[in-house]
Amino acid sequence: MDAAPIQGDEFSRLMAASGLTPAEGRVAVAVSGGGDSMALSLLAARWGKAVFLTFDHGLRPESAAEAAQTGRWLKKYQLEHHILTWEGTKPDKNLQAAARLARYRALEDWCAASNIRSLLLAHHQDDQAETFLLRLARGSGVDGLAAMRKVTGPLTRKDGPNLVRPLLDVPKARLAATLKLIGQDWIEDPSNENRDFDRIKIRDFLKDPPLEGFNPARLAATAKRLQRVRSTLESLTAEILTSAVTIHSEGYGAVSPEVLSRYGDEIGLRVLARLVVHIGGNAYPPRLKGLERIYDEIAGGGAFGAALAGCLIQREDKGPVMVMREVAAIEGPVMIRAGETVLWDRRFLLSRHTGCRLASCEAAALGGGGWNSFLSNTPDLAAKVKNIPHSVRLSLPAFQSGGRLVAIPHLGYEKTGAGSFSACFSPHMPLYTERPDWQK
């Protein structure tokens, strides 16, 4: 039996189930030119006001031409379309993961600048099933196996749009049928035929599974049931994070090992993961294997120290578990103009106020040299910060001008006549938030 196309009234119900109606205002749609996102785009265009965004990662020679072709198709329907590009140096390692993150950053930046609160993504039922099997093969826990949510918060910035997936319960075949009904072509990504990719192997497996239950609808339903389990665990985790975890303004956190163990390993691991994300300014949780290794160290008692995902996790004898920023992982110096506020190291909002008359100023981690300079110049202040762990002191933001230290707001130091500076711990990810889902 041929798949049925999606009609306008059904799409309106799907959008309403995601919390959106046309009265909410303009939405943005992430469109690559592939069949899934083209179907979503044309359905959204008929539903309400929308703008369409294509991210050109520049990793394939034909990517620019594909982005342009997508624009021509949308122009045919008199729709507003923008092409966003990946600026800056591309990494040598983990390129695909970096490209995904860069895509979300570009899309969310554009939406935030345009005051758009919802970004539609074309994930569908087959994506749910494929992701479930991929993560099952990789030994994922409940979070990895649970279904993507219809709505999650932004991935790369606090003021970004909600990420909305109205098609999660819709089979991929129905999206193709929708485009065929409209008479709209789409771009076929050559990587969809490349069996070097695990996702393509899974896709082929689902076309002819060895057991009847291995079909996208059944697997997606299982993932949704695990989503209910995840929600319950997240609620318990949130209670502990808000009642038993201490976050210090200098950018580090503390929790007693007894709290981590009191509610069982699963909750303890989640609390520790959220601390690492929050203190490290990360976009997503650390790998479970590394987290479990450190959690086992904590459970063993005694003093220890280990690095994970840009954080230093440390415990002295009979003391709390401290999660601090790893100094070696901190972002490099950033120039700050008078009257400007910048987010540095994805953790601190740094401000150089308008009264500052210095010709130039940059902010960077205090480091060992800066700490020694502070000690020699202000011994009276140094005695007042002895309760701040040494690693945290070295990670604090410090302002310099002409190679000379002019301010360390967290240590109460500001050179006379230098101006006015401030530093506020405001990490990229709050201590508790729903875990972002991003697969495409």
pTM: 0.74
Considering the chain, what percentage of its residues have pLDDT values greater than 70? Answer: 94
Of 348, 337, 340, the residue nearest 398 (C-alpha)? 348
Residues 208 and 338 occupy one common structural domain: no
Task: Please give the residue that has the higher pLDDT: either 202 or 395.
Answer: 395
CA 322 to CA 312: how far, in whole Å? 8
* Mean pLDDT computed over every residue of the chain: 87
Which of 220, 250, 277 lies at the terminal end of a domain, its last residue?
220
CA atoms 166, 169, 174, 176: torsion sign: positive
**Domain annotation covers residue 82:** yes
**What is the distance, to the nearest Å, from the Cα of residue 416 to the centroid of all Cα atoms in its chain?**
40
**Domain annotation covers residue 291:** no
Q: Report pLDDT for 437.
A: 46
**Domain annotation covers residue 384:** yes
Which of 167, 196, 220 lies at the terminal end of a domain, its last residue?
220
Q: Report pLDDT for 96.
A: 78
**Domain annotation covers residue 139:** yes
Residues 215 and 337 occupy one common structural domain: no
| CATH code for position 42 | 3.40.50.620
CA atoms 401, 404, 410, 413: torsion sign: negative
Residues 194 and 69 occupy one common structural domain: yes
Considering its fold, how many domains does the chain have in total? 2
75 burial (CB, 10 Å; 0-12 / 13-18 / 19+) is: exposed
**Domain annotation covers residue 237:** no
Residues 199 and 346 occupy one common structural domain: no
Task: Please give the residue that has the higher pLDDT: either 43 or 200.
Answer: 43
Task: HSE, CB side, 13 Å, CA atoms: give it for residue 101.
Answer: 12
Question: Hey, what amino acid is at 94?
Answer: N
151 burial (CB, 10 Å; 0-12 / 13-18 / 19+) is: middle
136 burial (CB, 10 Å; 0-12 / 13-18 / 19+) is: middle
The one-character DSSP state at 205 is H
CA 150 to CA 148: how far, in whole Å? 7
pLDDT at 220 over 70: yes
Q: What is the CA radius of gyration of the chain?
A: 25
Residue corresponding to tokens 């919802």: 118
**Domain annotation covers residue 267:** no
Instruction: Yes or no: say if 265 and 294 are a contact pair by the CB < 8 Å rule.
Output: no
184 burial (CB, 10 Å; 0-12 / 13-18 / 19+) is: middle
Of 122, 91, 119, the residue nearest 105 (C-alpha)? 119
pLDDT in tens, 79-114: 999 999 998 777 777 787 788 889 999 999 999 999
Least confident of 169-173, 189-193, 232-236: 189-193
Task: Look up the domain containing 359 and give its range.
Answer: 333-425
Question: For the chain, what percentages of helix, strand and coil (3-state, to nearest 5) are there?
Answer: 45, 20, 40
CA 331 to CA 406: how far, in whole Å? 19
**Domain annotation covers residue 350:** yes
Which of 181, 199, 220 lies at the terminal end of a domain, its last residue?
220
Nearest 5°: phi and psi at 372?
Answer: -65, -40
Residues 207 and 344 occupy one common structural domain: no
Strand partners, 223: none
Confidence of residue 141 (pLDDT cuts 50, 70, 90): confident
**Domain annotation covers residue 294:** no
Confidence of residue 193 (pLDDT cuts 50, 70, 90): low
221, two tokens: 């339903």
CA distances from 358 to 38, 355, 364, 420, 436 (A): 52, 9, 17, 11, 41
Residues 215 and 342 occupy one common structural domain: no
Question: Hey, what amino acid is at 67?
Answer: A
Q: Where are the alpha helices (H) located in 361-407, listed in sequence order?
A: 367-377, 379-382, 390-395
Task: Please give the residue that has the higher pLDDT: either 65 or 147.
Answer: 65
Task: Please give the residue that has the higher pLDDT: either 406 or 245.
Answer: 245
363, two tokens: 């902010």
pLDDT in tens, 338-371: 888 888 998 999 988 766 666 678 889 998 888 8
Q: Span 12-28, mean pLDDT?
A: 94
pLDDT in tens, 48-88: 999 999 999 988 889 999 999 999 999 999 999 999 999 87
